[in-house]
Chains A and B, each alone.
Chain A
Amino acid sequence: NAGVTQTPKFQVLKTGQSMTLQCAQDMNHEYMSWYRQDPGMGLRLIHYSVGAGITDQGEVPNGYNVSRSTTEDFPLRLLSAAPSQTSVYFCASSPWTSGRIVSYNEQFFGPGTRLTVL
């Protein structure tokens, strides 16, 4: 199993550009989420999904869109990049059933995408 993969590893954008950060997992996990990590702030939840076709907002959703057309993939779209979106982005997945996380011991993070917006 590859676990959780993220592409690209690094990206530099200009203000106003759009792009999609890719996240995929091969563990058949229903729950997937996106976080951003900024110095002194900890990780903050952007969006999450409990299954294909279902998404919801986290703490800091503004400026980001997500969709979940398959169990495996959960892309994060930046519609019009701003310098405030310079951050490290992590995708994570967990098994989910009956409206709850099955086991936090099985929560996995991807390696991250380092994004700089100029």
Chain B
Amino acid sequence: RKEVEQDPGPFNVPEGATVAFNCTYSNSASQSFFWYRQDCRKEPKLLMSVYSSGNEDGRFTAQLNRASQYISLLIRDSKLSDSATYLCVVERVSNTGKLIFGQGTTLQVKP
């Protein structure tokens, strides 16, 4: 079993739709969680950190459920520019920078 698992998709949604991605992690000792965005043939970029209390950044909301060991990302009012691969990332040991990446979920927003 992979340490961080995501549904690879693709998720095909129309503009304006709300879409949610889930990610599960197996190491209960993990402390830090992130969502990265990766455009086709580009480097990953941090989208947002995920906090225990949940956090929101504009149209994006991230949630953490430690009991069930999953992280979610909700995108509201999808834009064409949201089309990308979204990577769930977990830090194996706190503050070491040893990041474990999921394989990514691909989102395609259609006009």
Residue count of chain A within 8 Å CB distance of chain B: 25
- Contact: B49 with A104, CB < 8 Å? yes
Interface of chain A residues 19 through 66 with chain B (CB within 8 A): 31, 33, 35, 40-45, 48, 50, 58
Chain A residues whose C-beta falls within 8 Å of the C-beta of B46 in the assembled complex: 104-105, 107
Given the interface contacts A110-B43, A111-B43, does A40 sit within 8 Å of B8 by beta carbon? yes
Chain A residues whose C-beta falls within 8 Å of the C-beta of B2 in the assembled complex: 42
**Contact pick for B98, options A41, A58, A111, CB 8 Å:** A58
- The prevalent SS among residues of B at the interface is loop
- The prevalent SS among residues of A at the interface is strand
Interface of chain A residues 62 through 110 with chain B (CB within 8 A): 90, 94, 96, 99-101, 104-105, 107, 109-110
